[in-house]
């Protein structure tokens, strides 16, 4: 796993959407939408935290 890039790992976090979507289809409850939103926010945050930054040289 050390050879994998951190951004790839954050994209894999989006795989967490599959069980949430499946559960949402089965129950139809709106509380599941909150879980769906949480997974998207977490994956987006990880993606932004691991993106390459501009290095400023002094």
Tens of pLDDT along 23-58? 777 776 777 778 778 888 888 888 788 777 776 565
Residues with Cβ within 8 Å of 11's Cβ and at least 6 positions away in sequence, in order, are 43, 47
Helix (H, G, I), strand (E, B) or coil at 2: coil
H-assigned helices in the chain: 6-12, 17-27, 31-49
State pTM to two decimals: 0.58
Residue 4: predicted pLDDT: 62
Asked if residues 36 and 17 have their Cβ atoms less than 8 Å apart, the reply is: yes
Is the pLDDT at 7 greater than 50? The verdict is: yes
Record the tokens describing residue 32, joined without a space. 């599941």
- Would the pLDDT of 3 be above 70? no
Domain ranges within the chain, ordered by starting residue = 8-50
Give the other-Cβ count within 10 Å of 13's Cβ.
16
């Amino acid at each position: 796993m050390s050879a994998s890039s951190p951004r790839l790992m954050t994209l894999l976090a989006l795989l967490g959407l599959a069980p949430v979507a499946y559960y949402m289809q089965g129950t139809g409850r709106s509380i599941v939408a909150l879980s769906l939103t949480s997974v998207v926010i977490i994956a987006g945050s990880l993606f932004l935290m691991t993106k390459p930054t501009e290095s400023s040289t002094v």
